[in-house]
Amino acid sequence: MLFLCNKEHVFLIKRSELMPTYAGQMAFVGGHKKEIELNAWEVVQREYEEETSFSRNSIAFLGYLPVVLTARFQPIIPVMAELKISTAQFLHEAKSNGEWDEILAYPWQELTQEGNWEFAWRNGYEKSPVMFHTIRSGFYFPLEANQKTHLLWGATASMIWEFLRLYFKA
């Protein structure tokens, strides 16, 4: 998954309601590795181009985060990258390949406020927390499209929470 950000925002997609998996959920751009790809950075660069229509030259590699397991025990390798173009240009010119209905820029300032996060316990093979963050209307960009509230949860929320925990050494 491409954990795409800049100094002000984290960039998320709302997956299309027509997708066979994770329909309507907030997520990062990303997908599955092809046989010819050598590493996760190659995968996310290709997925970024396919899912946004932007060139891979508009992102810069920042590093990897610890692997996250989905509820179905699928491993996800979060790859952090910085968006090298403006937020406005990205939001205005990004074109969906059909995998997402909305793309948004969510301020770091909202994500770093611990009071904006909630969690519940998931009981599976082992008890583990599930993180939740409400993305409220009026708090994300593009402003003209942010009339809805979204729920950030699951693997995407876990990746963001883990990054914040590592960054702030919580």
The predicted pLDDT at position 107 comes to 96
Residue 15 near residue 24 (C-beta atoms within 8 A)? yes
The predicted pLDDT at position 113 comes to 93
The predicted pLDDT at position 130 comes to 83
Of residues 153 and 169, which shows the higher confidence score?
153
Sequence-distant (6+) residues with CB within 8 A of 74 are: none
Residue 128 near residue 122 (C-beta atoms within 8 A)? yes
Record: fold of 2-168: Nucleoside Triphosphate Pyrophosphohydrolase (3.90.79)
Residue 154 near residue 70 (C-beta atoms within 8 A)? yes
The predicted pLDDT at position 74 comes to 83
Of residues 128 and 102, which shows the higher confidence score?
102
Summarised one tens digit per residue, pLDDT across range 70-87 is: 777 788 999 999 999 999
Sign of the alpha-carbon dihedral angle for 87, 88, 89, 93? positive
pTM attached to this predicted model: 0.92
Write down the domain spans for the chain.
2-168
153-165 b/e (C-beta count within 10 Å ≥ 16 → b) = bbbbbbbbbbbee
